Amino acid sequence: MIERSRRDAGQAFPIYMMMVAGLLFLVFAFFAVGKASALRNGAQGAADAAALAAANEARENFEAGFLASLPKDLLAAYLRSHPVVGCPAAQSLAAANQADVTNSGCREFPRGREDRIEVEVEGRKPVDSTVLPGSERTRAKATATAVIKFRCEWTSFDYNNDGIRDMFFFWCGNDFLKIEPSNPPPWSEVSKILYDVHLVDN
């Protein structure tokens, strides 16, 4: 009887070890999945921040062309065709969030009243799990798209009948704005009224 108990215990030991090994594998696998998910969320946050930074920079870069178009009443033409330059700001915000803009990962799309900037980033930290082959080289990637939208309607006046517009009035939702082309207000004060910057779904 004692001999049989010892034999049963000896047979059960390998099964026990296999169960422990299986449980350990599951623990490490769940940990790897959790880490990958956290890195993915971090990469998405970096992409969102980078896209918004690029869009805000593009909005700042609109100042010269926007104001230059007013005296000759060329604003409509400017809104239809204008450069969008904001990508240089994307990398600095991505880096601040432990990520880098991928090669060709920032693209600018002028679309008149609603321009877009798309950014793709790659996180700097790999998943690096012992249970996921190749994970030491796997880094999370994410993309984000920001819109720079001109949100106003306007009218203008040439008080001297000399072909030069003297005053513009803008209605931007619930906001009203007056701009005198010969003496415009600081762009930092009016750009956020004229243009809305926000993220959109890819």
pLDDT digits (tens, 9 = 90+) for 16-32: 556 655 555 555 555 55
Q: What is the domain extent for residue 110? A: 2-149
pLDDT band per the 50, 70, 90 thresholds, residue 161: very high
Residues with Cβ < 8 Å from 13, sequence gap 6 or more?
none
Backbone angles phi, psi at 103, to 5 degrees: -60, 130
- Determine, yes or no, domain membership for 187: no
Task: Choose the weakest-confidence range: 16-20, 24-28, 76-80, 185-189.
Answer: 24-28
| The pLDDT of residue 14 is above 80 | no
User: How many distinct helices (H) and strands (E) make up the chain?
Assistant: 5, 7
Is pLDDT at 86 greater than 80 in this prediction? yes
Specify if 181 maps to a domain.
no
92 vs 35, higher pLDDT: 92
For the residues of 164-175, what is the DSSP string, one character each?
---EEEEEETTE
Residue 71 lies in a domain: yes
pTM: 0.80
Q: Are 155 and 146 in contact (CB under 8 A)?
A: no
* 181-184 contacts, C-beta under 8 A, 24 or more apart: 181/67, 181/70, 181/71, 182/71, 184/67, 184/70
Q: Specify if 194 maps to a domain.
A: no
Number of Cβ atoms within 10 Å of the Cβ of 13: 10
Question: Would 199 be classed as within a structural domain?
Answer: no
What are the backbone angles phi and psi of residue 60, rounded to the nearest 5°? Answer: -65, -35
Element (H, E) at 176: strand 175-179
- Radius of gyration in angstroms for the set of CA atoms belonging to the chain, rounded to a whole number: 29
62 membership: H or E segment, kind and range: none
Does position 65 have pLDDT exceeding 80, yes or no? yes
- 100-120 tens-digit pLDDT: 999 889 999 999 899 999 999
Residue 45 falls within a domain, yes or no?
Answer: yes
Task: Look at residues 39, 195, 38 and name the one whose alpha carbon lies nearest to residue 117.
Answer: 195
The rounded percent of the chain whose pLDDT value lies above 90 is: 65
pLDDT score of 195: 97
Q: What is the number of structural domains in the chain? A: 1
**Contact of 89 with 100, CB cutoff 8 Å:** no
Mean pLDDT for the chain? 84
Whether 66 is covered by a domain: the verdict is: yes
Per-residue pLDDT band for 36 (boundaries 50, 70, 90) equals low
**How would DSSP label each residue in 63-80?**
HHHHHHHTTTT-HHHHHH
Tokens read off for 55 = 């869009």
For residue 77, tell me if it sits in a domain: yes
